[in-house]
């Protein structure tokens, strides 16, 4: 592994030399300093660059979505699909990925975008055009979009491409105060460190956790339950006086009873559910 990546770096160094050959040398010279690197022998460089160091796939030194395939000593320049970047973890793999887990800081250039409706580039996750739509975003594949909505109370974080708490997403106009119609009541520091919980005044099923006493995060109880502001826990709605009728019109008494007393599974039935876990996003066409 170490050997391979070293070779890759040497190869890249050669590409940089090639790329900068036509460009004037560093103009901000500091003559007092020793030369930063060994002076390259131009003939030797040409020799190395004309023949690939080994077969494989190598990242471009400047452009994150550009890479090179070396095959039988020949270099073929390639581009990832628009919106994706070259994953340079192994020269044996030709792999382009969405940019979230790939460090492009050393090769920040990208191809010219090919935009389409809701998709600034052909592929990727993109924020909603309306900055007030904090929890909506688009997933684009080949320029075709799907709008995705984060679970209630979460904000789309365009740095990570996932839904997170508003205080974590740190998105302008999408802070806890903008997303929630709730202010944490002032508390002393000691009490704040217990992350106190408060019932959502507008919805019996939900409550707010005030992180460090001051940053609200909305959380919910199971269907059929309500947050009891006295015990500070989720309880079956019938046991919470101010919420006893909360599910009327939504669930029948029989349905509520079935939620509270789920039918017992026969002990000899060993069937396992292979259904995937509920995704934490809803997909809307
Ligand atoms: C902080 O507030 C809590 C709850 O209101 C109270 O019980 C506690 O005595 C207070 N502590 C201090 C140090 O003021």
DSSP 189-243: HHHHTT--EEE-TT-TTEEEEEETTTEEEEEEPPTTEEEETTTTEEEEGGGSGGG
Q: How far is it, in rounded angstroms, from Cα 132 to Cα 120?
A: 18
Which residues does 258 contact at the CB level (< 8 Å), separation at least 6?
none
The token pair that represents 165 in the structure block: 């708490």
Residues 227, 219 contacting (CB under 8 angstroms): no
Query: Which pLDDT value is given to residue 270?
Result: 53
**Burial category of 138 from C-beta neighbours within 10 Å (exposed 0-12, middle 13-18, buried 19 and up):** buried
* pLDDT tens per residue across all 285 residues of the chain: 333 333 333 333 333 333 333 333 333 333 333 333 333 444 444 334 445 778 999 999 999 999 999 988 889 999 999 999 999 999 999 999 999 989 999 999 999 999 999 999 999 999 999 988 999 999 999 999 999 999 988 999 988 999 999 988 888 889 888 888 899 999 999 999 999 999 999 999 999 999 999 999 999 999 999 999 999 999 999 999 999 999 999 999 999 999 999 888 766 655 554 544 444 444 444
What's the CA gap between 55 and 36, in Å, rounded? 30
Closest CA to 73 of 92, 47, 41: 47
Within 8 A by CB and 6+ apart from 244, the residues are 237, 238
Q: How far away, in angstroms, is 183 Cα from ligand 1 center?
A: 19
Torsion angle (degrees, nearest 10) of CA 169, 138, 160, 179: 10
pLDDT (0 to 100) of residue 86: 97
Cβ atoms < 10 Å from Cβ of 33: 7
**CA nearest ligand 1 atom 8, residue:** 191
Number of Cβ atoms within 10 Å of the Cβ of 139: 19
pLDDT, residue 52, reads 72
Per-residue pLDDT, 245: 94
Instruction: Give the domains, in start order, of the chain with CATH numbers.
Output: 2-22+31-101 (2.170.140), 124-177 (2.170.140.10), 189-260 (2.170.140)
Strand partners, 57: 69
Cα(195) to ligand 1 centroid in Å equals 13
- Cα angle value 185/186/188 (rounded, 5°): 135
What's the predicted TM-score (pTM) here? 0.59
The pLDDT assigned to 248 comes to 94
Query: What contacts 225, CB < 8 A, 6 or more positions away?
Result: 205, 234, 235, 236, 237
Mutate to test the pocket of ligand 1, among 188, 192, 197, 214 (most ligand atoms within 8 A of CB): 188
- Quote the ligand 1 centre to 192 CA distance (angstroms): 9
Closest residue by CA, ligand 1 atom 7: 191
For residue 55, the tally of other CB atoms under 10 A from its CB is 13
- Collapsed DSSP state (helix, strand, coil) of residue 50: helix
Q: Coil, strand or helix: which one is 173?
A: coil
Query: Ligand 1 centroid vs 184 CA: distance in angstroms?
Result: 16
User: Using an 8 Å Cβ cutoff, are 208 and 166 in contact?
Assistant: no
Name the residue at shortest CA distance from atom 3 of ligand 1: 191
Give the HSE-up count for residue 27: Cα atoms under 13 Å, Cβ half-sphere: 2
């Amino acid at each position: 592994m170490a050997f391979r990546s070293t070779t890759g770096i040497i190869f890249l160094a050669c590409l940089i030399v090639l790329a900068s050959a036509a460009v004037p040398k560093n103009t901000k010279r500091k003559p007092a300093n020793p030369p930063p690197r060994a002076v390259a022998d131009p003939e030797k460089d040409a020799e190395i660059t004309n023949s690939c160091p080994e077969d494989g796939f190598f990242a471009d030194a400047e452009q994150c979505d550009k890479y090179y395939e070396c095959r039988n000593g020949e270099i073929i320049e390639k581009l990832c699909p628009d919106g994706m970047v070259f994953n340079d973890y192994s020269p044996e793999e030709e792999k382009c990925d969405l940019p979230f887990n790939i460090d492009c800081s050393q090769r920040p250039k990208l191809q010219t975008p090919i935009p389409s409706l809701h998709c600034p580039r052909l592929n990727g996750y993109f924020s909603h055009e309306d900055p007030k739509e904090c929890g909506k975003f688009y997933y684009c594949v080949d320029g075709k979009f799907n709008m995705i909505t984060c679970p209630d109370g979460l904000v789309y974080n365009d740095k990570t491409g996932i839904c997170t708490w508003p205080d974590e997403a740190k998105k302008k106009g999408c802070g806890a105060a903008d997303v929630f119609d709730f202010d944490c009541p002032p508390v002393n520091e000691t009490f704040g460190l217990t992350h106190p919980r408060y019932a959502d005044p507008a919805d019996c099923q939900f409550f707010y956790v005030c992180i460090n006493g001051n940053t609200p995060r909305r959380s919910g109880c199971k269907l059929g339950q309500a947050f009891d502001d006295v015990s500070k826990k989720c309880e079956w709605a019938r046991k919470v006086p101010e919420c006893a009728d909360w599910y009327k019109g939504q669930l029948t008494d029989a349905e509520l009873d079935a939620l509270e007393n789920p039918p017992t599974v026969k002990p000899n039935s060993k069937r396992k559910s292979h259904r995937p876990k509920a995704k934490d996003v809803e997909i809307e066409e």
